[in-house]
């Protein structure tokens, strides 16, 4: 980034190449829309470029980058909501119907094949599960899992406290375990967990 | 057992433990608990399993086109930030009279004049010198070797483009001439793109006030007295589009080449790599110009007038159909236009198709309706009574869906049908009552 600050075009290209996948994935986590995610990711990199002269190497670059990215993602979601176009993070069932998170968790296991499932199908269900998480849980999870960021770094990039990040990730794990239970090796999900999930989600929304 | 609730504080501890966020003392203490508490240990395992499943989250492939377009946008930003030197200050009179895009048209006219049959080079240079503002527009700033541009404009492809611009009004692309077989593919791509861009520019010209039109026309005619106004404007649009397609970075690179290599490189840039670039960036770079072209025609005729349309159904290029589909998914406001037609479409669908359409997301429903309409356009006399085939299309992951080449209908049909068969929703036998409908052409 220091080279970018000094107007080194090749360094900027390297930076885009290195982080584009991460930023697009993060933007996709915000929007659940691949095309829009790419547009927003491009906006993120342009903002980085425009801010290059003011960049201070006091923090890890990735933290600074993802802080910008989270602002862009958050604004995009907010703008979409303002236009009343937000569809929420909806997940399709096998018949093309859209399910909310609770419905997804409560779906009968027979509707979700647990064995011999194709990898692409599994990948899609994993993606659906992630997108079914509450927004901040989802972002924290992506930064932790895919970017390998520490709680402190996630807190910095999301503008939150470490304690809040810790709580978000814990809840994300709880919910993921429920959502992905059919794909894990052992046992079936108990029926009580759906209400458990709903309750926790409600608590979080209330906070 | 795994469903039993554990205290929230323990869940946070488990999560922090797995994330390596516990201090050494806290970690030791928690490991002791794990050793003694089977339920906690079991929960730890399931958390880890769920976490590991995330490894199957779809990867985001790196795209060179993304990098390139971002670099170009950044470069444009730099160009805007960089003030012109003292010798580049445009004439105030020109600058104040015309909007920037009109100046662009004047710049274009300079290149349009280059293509005139009775081109007078010296006169052109004199005019260029006089029209200082145009000379400093981005399109011209880095390409100063005008004789080479003149050669470029004699290329047969350009003539071909010019000859067929009028085809816009018919919305049908003529066949690629046989004398250009080696470049058939990219000519087709480029033509589709440029047809749309030219369409927009023609509209811009038409929106000009009379005095502005006269001003632009007058400036253009000073440079070329041999062509009719129509011909000249057409040339203006074509050449300015081509030149504008080159990034500033590439123009700089051109300048550094030996003159004899420059034209070759320019040609390659304009007609080779750019064609691919356009295709790759379609949804980003050209959606605003392609949509009016593809979308307006489809929406205007959807679905009210379908039954009254004449023709064979080949009037919407598959390329445009694909653009339209993507656009429908991208911009919900446009979908409303299609959605409004749902009630009208419904009676023409089978009960099964109606049921499917009611059950799915409105966005996807619109896409099916659009698909149905296009299919109807492309296959006169046939009814679209198997919406489930297209539901299979919609059920594809976005990435997979984008991989489907709508320009290859048979391939799309086979892929979708395989998907249905795999899901047990269609018989393996293709013959008989459940044969899939013809896909849009």
For residue B186 the two structure tokens come to: 């990219």
- Interval A102-118 mean pLDDT: 38
Does residue A198 belong to the interface with chain B, where contact is any CB pair within 8 Å?
no
Does residue B99 belong to the interface with chain A, where contact is any CB pair within 8 Å?
no
pLDDT of residue A73 exceeding 70, the answer is yes
- Interval B210-232 mean pLDDT: 46
A98 phi and psi angles, rounded to 5 deg: -95, 135
Does residue B5 belong to the interface with chain A, where contact is any CB pair within 8 Å?
yes
Q: Residue B346: what pLDDT?
A: 53
pLDDT of residue B156 exceeding 70, the answer is no
Distance from CA of B284 to the nearest CA of A (A): 8
> Domain A2-79, CATH 3.30.365.10 — does that match?
no
| Residue A48 pLDDT class (50, 70, 90 cuts) | confident
* Partners of residue A28 in chain B, C-beta under 8 Å: 60
pLDDT in tens, B178-211: 443 333 443 444 444 444 444 444 444 455 566 6
- Interval A74-87 mean pLDDT: 58
Q: Average pLDDT of chain B?
A: 50
Is B19 within 8 Å of A147 (Cβ atoms)? no
pLDDT of residue B244 exceeding 80, the answer is no
CB within 8 Å: A17 and B47? no
* Partners of residue A153 in chain B, C-beta under 8 Å: none
Global ipTM: 0.73
Select the residue from A12, A174, A198 to test the B interface by mutation, using most B Cβ atoms within 10 A. Answer: A174
pLDDT of residue A110 exceeding 70, the answer is no
Cα B166 from Cα A71, distance rounded (Å): 47
Report the 10 Å Cβ neighbour count for B86: 6
Q: Give the architecture-level CATH label for domain A90-206.
A: Orthogonal Bundle (1.10)
CB within 8 Å: A21 and B62? yes
CB within 8 Å: B47 and A50? no
Q: State the DSSP H helix or E strand holding residue A91, giving kind and residue range, or none if neither.
A: strand A91-92
Q: Which long-range contacts (CB under 8 A, 24 or more apart) does B415-419 make?
A: B416/B389, B416/B390, B416/B392, B417/B389, B417/B392, B419/B392, B419/B395
Q: Residue A176: what pLDDT?
A: 85
Name the DSSP letter for residue B4: S
Tell me which of B37 and B389 has the higher pLDDT. Answer: B37
Q: Residue B91: what pLDDT?
A: 28
**Which of A183-192, B62-71, B381-390 has the lowest average pLDDT?**
B381-390
Cα B210 from Cα B244, distance rounded (Å): 26
Q: Residue B218: what pLDDT?
A: 52
| Residue B172 pLDDT class (50, 70, 90 cuts) | very low
Report the residue from A36, A119, A193 with minimal CB separation from B3. A193
pLDDT in tens, B301-323: 333 333 333 333 333 444 444 44
**Which of A17-31, A119-133, B223-237 has the lowest average pLDDT?**
B223-237
Does residue B52 belong to the interface with chain A, where contact is any CB pair within 8 Å?
no
Q: Residue A97: what pLDDT?
A: 37
Nearest Cα neighbor of A96 from B348, B437, B367 is B367
Question: Which residue is it, tokens 């659940």?
Answer: A32
% of residues, chain A, pLDDT over 70 = 64
| Residue B254 pLDDT class (50, 70, 90 cuts) | low
Q: Residue B248: what pLDDT?
A: 60
Is B249 within 8 Å of B277 (Cβ atoms)? no
Distance from CA of B12 to the nearest CA of A (A): 5
pLDDT of residue A113 exceeding 50, the answer is no
* Partners of residue B73 in chain A, C-beta under 8 Å: 42, 46
CB within 8 Å: A122 and B397? no
CB within 8 Å: A85 and B283? no
Distance from CA of B226 to the nearest CA of A (A): 45
CB within 8 Å: A97 and B59? no
CB within 8 Å: B53 and A38? no
CB within 8 Å: A183 and B53? yes
For B363, nearest residue in chain A (alpha carbons) = A87
Q: Residue A169: what pLDDT?
A: 92
Select the residue from A23, A35, A44, A178 to test the B interface by mutation, using most B Cβ atoms within 10 A. Answer: A35
For A27, nearest residue in chain B (alpha carbons) = B60
% of residues, chain B, pLDDT over 70 = 16
Cis amide leading into B303 (omega within 30): yes
Most confident of A183-187, B80-84, B136-140, B182-186: A183-187
Which positions 117-176 of A are in contact with B (Cβ < 8 Å)?
Answer: 119-120, 122-124, 126-127, 130, 141, 144-146, 150-151, 166-167, 169-171, 173-174, 176
Name the DSSP letter for residue B432: S
Q: Residue B137: what pLDDT?
A: 29
Tell me which of B232 and A51 has the higher pLDDT. Answer: A51
Q: Residue A141: what pLDDT?
A: 92
* Partners of residue B329 in chain A, C-beta under 8 Å: 35
Tell me which of B423 and B344 has the higher pLDDT. Answer: B423
Q: Residue B65: what pLDDT?
A: 73
Tell me which of A29 and B200 has the higher pLDDT. Answer: A29
Residue boundaries of the structural domains of chain A? 2-79, 90-206
| Residue A32 pLDDT class (50, 70, 90 cuts) | confident
- Interval B416-426 mean pLDDT: 64
């Amino acid at each position: 980034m220091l080279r970018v600050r000094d107007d080194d075009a090749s360094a900027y290209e390297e930076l885009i190449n290195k982080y584009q996948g991460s930023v697009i994935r993060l933007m996709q986590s915000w929007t659940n829309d691949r095309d829009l995610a790419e547009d927003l990711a491009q906006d993120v990199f342009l903002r980085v470029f425009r801010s290059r002269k003011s960049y201070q190497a006091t923090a890890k670059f990735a933290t600074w980058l993802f802080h910008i990215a989270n602002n862009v993602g958050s604004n995009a979601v907010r703008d979409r909501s303002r236009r009343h176009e937000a569809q929420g993070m909806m997940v399709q069932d096998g018949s093309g119907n859209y399910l909310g998170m609770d419905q997804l968790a409560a779906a009968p296991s027979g509707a979700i094949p647990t064995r011999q499932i194709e990898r692409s199908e599994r990948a899609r269900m994993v993606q659906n599960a992630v997108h079914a998480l509450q927004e901040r849980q989802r972002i924290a999870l992506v930064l932790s899992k895919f970017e390998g960021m520490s709680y402190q770094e996630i807190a910095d990039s999301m503008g939150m406290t470490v304690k809040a990040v810790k709580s978000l990730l814990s809840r994300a794990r709880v919910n993921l375990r429920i959502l992905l239970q059919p794909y894990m090796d052992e046992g079936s999900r108990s029926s009580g967990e759906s209400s458990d999930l709903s309750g926790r989600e409600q608590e979080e929304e209330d906070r | 057992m795994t469903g039993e609730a554990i205290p929230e504080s323990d869940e946070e501890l488990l999560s922090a433990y797995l994330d390596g966020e516990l201090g050494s003392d806290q970690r030791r203490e928690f490991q002791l608990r794990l050793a003694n508490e089977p339920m906690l240990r079991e929960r730890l395992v399931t958390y880890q399993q769920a976490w590991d499943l995330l490894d199957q989250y779809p990867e985001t492939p790196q795209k060179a086109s993304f990098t390139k377009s971002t670099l170009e946008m950044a470069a444009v930003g730099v160009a805007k930030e960089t003030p012109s030197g003292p010798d580049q200050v445009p004439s105030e009179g020109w600058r104040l009279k015309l909007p920037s895009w009109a100046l662009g048209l004047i710049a274009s006219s300079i290149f349009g004049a280059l293509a005139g049959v009775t081109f007078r080079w010296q006169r052109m240079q004199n005019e260029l010198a006089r029209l200082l503002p145009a000379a400093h527009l981005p399109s011209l700033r880095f390409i100063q070797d005008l004789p080479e541009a003149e050669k470029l404009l004699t290329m047969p492809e350009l003539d071909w483009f010019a000859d067929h611009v009028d085809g816009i009004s018919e919305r049908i692309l003529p066949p690629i001439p046989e004398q250009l077989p080696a470049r058939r593919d990219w000519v087709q791509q480029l033509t589709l793109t440029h047809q749309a861009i030219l369409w927009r520019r023609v509209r811009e010209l038409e929106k000009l006030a009379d005095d502005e039109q006269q001003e632009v026309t007058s400036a253009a005619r000073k440079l070329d007295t041999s062509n009719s106004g129509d011909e000249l404007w057409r040339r203006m649009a074509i050449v300015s589009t081509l030149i504008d397609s080159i990034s500033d970075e590439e123009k700089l690179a051109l300048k550094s080449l030996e003159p004899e290599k420059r034209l070759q490189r320019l040609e390659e840039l304009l007609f080779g790599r750019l064609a691919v670039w356009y295709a790759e960036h379609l949804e980003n770079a050209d959606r605003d110009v392609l949509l009016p072209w593809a979308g307006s025609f489809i929406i205007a005729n959807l679905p009210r007038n379908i039954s009254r349309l004449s023709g064979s159904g080949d009037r919407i290029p598959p390329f445009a159909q694909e653009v339209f589909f993507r656009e429908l998914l991208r911009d919900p406001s446009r979908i409303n236009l299609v959605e409004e037609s749902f009630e009208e479409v419904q009676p023409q669908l089978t009960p099964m198709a109606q049921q499917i359409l009611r059950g799915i997301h409105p966005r996807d429903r619109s896409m099916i309706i659009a698909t149905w309409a296009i299919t109807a356009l492309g296959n006169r006399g046939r009814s679209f009574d198997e919406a489930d085939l297209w539901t299979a299309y919609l059920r594809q992951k976005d990435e997979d869906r984008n991989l489907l080449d709508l320009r290859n209908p048979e391939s799309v049909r086979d892929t979708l049908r395989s998907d249905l068969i795999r899901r047990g929703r269609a018989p393996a036998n293709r013959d008989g009552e459940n044969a899939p409908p013809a896909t849009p052409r």
